Amino acid sequence: YLTRLVPFGFSGAALIAKGDEVLLNKGYGLANVAESIANTPQTIFSVGSITKQFTAAAIMKLEMMGKLSTGDPVSKYFDNVPPDKLGIKLHHLLTHTSGVNDDVMGGDFEIAHRDETMRKILEAPLRFAPGEEFEYSNLGYSMLAAIVELASGMSYEEFLHEYLFKPSGMNLT
């Protein structure tokens, strides 16, 4: 079925296993169209917004370690938080209820340095008061990723590798 979808634009990889038995492990279509590089079972893919679940898990792990609380205000981690953002708690960031304005940054694949990104987020007006509404927020999770670094003293990638991926056997994540 997946092979038949390739001429229609499908591109990806599939792994199907039952217990310890691998039933299918195959790449389909192209991983890089410009260079005609095929997808394989070893192709590494961008996980996009799935990163949010790992960020949330990192925050919860840090809470379990006693390094932060989801009830903490963002002002505990960032200096010069404007008055309108003093009510934002980590819980608001986790649940997309912070009011953080996602329109202050460039595209998803532009380099965004942590401190500059946090400054831009904090300078931008809120869309709504924290806890008042729900609006999906990529930048709220960028703030959480920065908090992972600040609370752990490690880079985001190092923390996830050491405390989430390595213990889970996720060696290529």
Q: Are the CB atoms for 36 and 142 separated by under 8 Å?
A: no
Q: How many CB atoms lie within 10 A of CB 101?
A: 19
How far, in Å, CA of 162 to CA of 14, rounded? 27
Cβ atoms of 39 and 5 within 8 Å: the answer is no
Active-site position among 11, 49, 69, 142: 49
Whether 142 is catalytic is: no
Alpha-carbon distance 69 to 39, whole Å? 41
Contacts of 140 by beta carbon, 8 Å cutoff, 6+ apart: 92, 93, 94, 96, 98, 100
The residues that are catalytic are 49
